[in-house]
Amino acid sequence: MAIDILVVDDEEMIRWTLTEALTQEGYNVKSFETAAAFFKYFNEHGGDIVLLDVRLPDGNGLDILLEINRMDPDTIVMIMTAFGDVETAVKAMKRGAADYISKPYNLDEVLLMIAKTAESNILKSQLHHYRECLENQYAQILGEDPKMKQVKDYMSMAAKSDKTTVLIRGESGTGKELVARQIHFQSSRAAKPFIDVNAAAVSDTLLESELFGHEKGAFTDAQRQKKGLLELADGGTLFLDEIGDLHPSLQVKLLRVLQERKFRRVGGVQDIHVDVRIISATNGNLEENIQNGKMRKDLYYRLNVFTIHLPPLRERRGDIVLLSKSFLDEYRKEFSKNITGFREDALSLLESYDYPGNVRELKNIIERATLIETSSLICPASLPEELKKKIPSLYAPEPEENMKPWLNPGFQFKEYIESVEKNLIAGALEECEGKKNKAAELLGMTRFALRHQLKKHSLE
Ligand SMILES: Nc1ncnc2c1ncn2[C@@H]1O[C@H](COP(=O)(O)OP(=O)(O)OP(=O)(O)O)[C@@H](O)[C@H]1O
Ligand SMILES: [Mg+2]
């Protein structure tokens, strides 16, 4: 028995892509431009899953959602909201939506979400193989640097012991969420839900009822009992992102979950037992949070059982080329562009940049370059200006133009000058393909002076 999915959206492009993709996955799909057309059909035929846009020409998705619930409580509704519109998403969830999709969406993610929802609610066995394919696709963690190899080793260890609490640390964009998903899907919990919660994205009270659920009447809006995400994650993994932002009162409740595997819903008196593995992540300094009283020490110890540190991209430059090529491959397909690779000088620019936003930033850079490149190779002109700022001119740039390095914490005059020296020497040498005579000439110094510099900066 195939699952019936109804897509309601006034944008033709969205109806078309979703219908194509879902049909290919083996679902029965019907799409509707307006609420009226949808209800006309739904009244007669019903449906298993409805993908519902919040803004329709003749109605509000949130109201339509209530109406669907009333007509057939077994129909699963997923709301499509604008990116970042957390409020609507939360409202939709409160009104009984099974999940929400934020636009612009990632098609694979949506397919995965639907497969999961369908599985937990409708036909478990039938969907098994869709999910497997999608998840494997998901879990590509690239990197050959020894630091990344170690990360991968740790990940498989964590996957093997499926009760161990894991803490993932690393700067923004280093792949913390990717790693968390991979651990889940490699573990024996893979067939159960992976639920991800961002502690910084919603208010504390909302987060509390999202996480722990609530009883009917627990607060004004609580018109019926609601299961929390912890319950929904039962058997699976709960990924708590930005754990450093968790409110102290929630920290106590979470601690109890970690210690005793039980909790109470908001307004509840009964303990609920769950079997959930917690993976948390942060890009912040938890130790500092403890110092200034933002984080409980006992919670910290409970979370910090098995820690995986993700190195920033600038500490594994060897992976930049590999990642760039893989992202290019992804986007040239997506944008149907005939780009075969990178020009050498573009690659060196990519390799020498520092990436404060890490892999996410690199990925965005490649996406943009793929989109705007008109030749068959990515050229420096398609790369953002930040990457080219390092190109030296005759004189060091004016500090005003350059930022004010002395305002950086820990600034040291001597070290700064030495790093400028080192960059100049290394740059000139590279330019001359290692020929010292030529480099000395370019730099306006004697061979002897250059030799001295090379030794000083261990560039030999
Ligand atoms: N090693 C990797 N191989 C392939 N893609 C990666 C890798 N690391 C990160 N990415 C990609 O980079 C992007 C950012 O990764 P992710 O969202 O996991 O980072 P994060 O550490 O959770 O960031 P933040 O702290 O900002 O939430 C994603 O698109 C992810 O797929
Ligand atoms: Mg993240």
For ligand 1, whether the C-beta of 193 sits within 6 Å is no
**Residue 262 backbone phi and psi in degrees, to 5:** -145, 165
The reported pLDDT for the residue numbered 129 is 43
Q: How far is the CA of 141 from the centre of ligand 1 (A)?
A: 9
Q: What is the DSSP letter of 200?
A: T
The reply to whether 447 and 356 lie within a common domain is no
Q: How far is the CA of 330 from the centre of ligand 1 (A)?
A: 15
pLDDT tens profile 126-181:
444 445 445 544 557 899 999 999 999 999 999 999 999 999 999 999 999 999 99
For ligand 1, whether the C-beta of 359 sits within 6 Å is yes
For ligand 1, whether the C-beta of 172 sits within 6 Å is yes
Q: Please name the helix (run of DSSP H) or strand (run of DSSP E) that holds residue 238, with its range, or none.
A: strand 237-241
Please enumerate in sequence order all residues whose Cβ is within 8 A of that of 62, keeping only pairs 6 or more positions apart, or say none. Answer: 54, 79, 88, 91, 92, 95
For ligand 1, whether the C-beta of 213 sits within 6 Å is no
Q: What is the DSSP letter of 355?
A: -
pLDDT tens profile 78-104:
999 887 788 888 888 888 888 888 888
The C-alpha atoms of residue 246 and residue 258 are separated, in whole angstroms, by: 15
The reported pLDDT for the residue numbered 199 is 86
Residue 64 falls within a domain, yes or no?
yes
The reply to whether 132 and 103 lie within a common domain is yes
Residue 419 falls within a domain, yes or no?
yes
Domain boundary among 137, 169, 203: 137
Nearest CA to ligand 1 atom 10: 175
The reply to whether 337 and 406 lie within a common domain is no
Q: Are 387 and 354 in contact (CB under 8 A)?
A: no
The reply to whether 114 and 235 lie within a common domain is no
The reply to whether 413 and 372 lie within a common domain is no
Residue 92 falls within a domain, yes or no?
yes
For ligand 1, whether the C-beta of 173 sits within 6 Å is yes
The reported pLDDT for the residue numbered 400 is 53
CATH number at residue 27: 3.40.50.2300
The reported pLDDT for the residue numbered 201 is 77
Q: How far is the CA of 171 from the centre of ligand 2 (A)?
A: 10
Q: How many domains does the chain have?
A: 4
Residue 144 falls within a domain, yes or no?
no
Q: Please name the helix (run of DSSP H) or strand (run of DSSP E) that holds residue 78, with its range, or none.
A: strand 76-82
The secondary structure of 306-353, three-state, reads EEEEECCHHHCCHHHHHHHHHHHHHHHHHCCCCCCEECHHHHHHHHHC
How many C-beta atoms surround the C-beta of residue 94 within 10 A? 18
Q: How far is the CA of 173 from the centre of ligand 2 (A)?
A: 7
The reply to whether 114 and 50 lie within a common domain is yes
Domain, as residue range, for 331: 314-388
The reply to whether 113 and 168 lie within a common domain is no
Q: Are 251 and 299 in contact (CB under 8 A)?
A: yes
The reported pLDDT for the residue numbered 128 is 45
The reply to whether 123 and 188 lie within a common domain is no
Mean pLDDT by 10 residues, the chain (460 residues): 87 93 92 94 88 92 89 86 81 84 87 80 47 55 94 94 95 95 90 86 82 83 78 91 91 92 90 94 94 94 95 95 95 92 94 94 95 93 85 51 72 84 89 89 87 85
The reply to whether 322 and 423 lie within a common domain is no
The reported pLDDT for the residue numbered 134 is 58
DSSP, collapsed to helix, strand or coil, labels residue 139 as coil
Q: Are strands 49-53 and 4-8 parallel, antiparallel or unpaired?
A: parallel
The C-alpha atoms of residue 321 and residue 319 are separated, in whole angstroms, by: 6
The reported pLDDT for the residue numbered 125 is 38
The reported pLDDT for the residue numbered 133 is 45
The reported pLDDT for the residue numbered 6 is 96
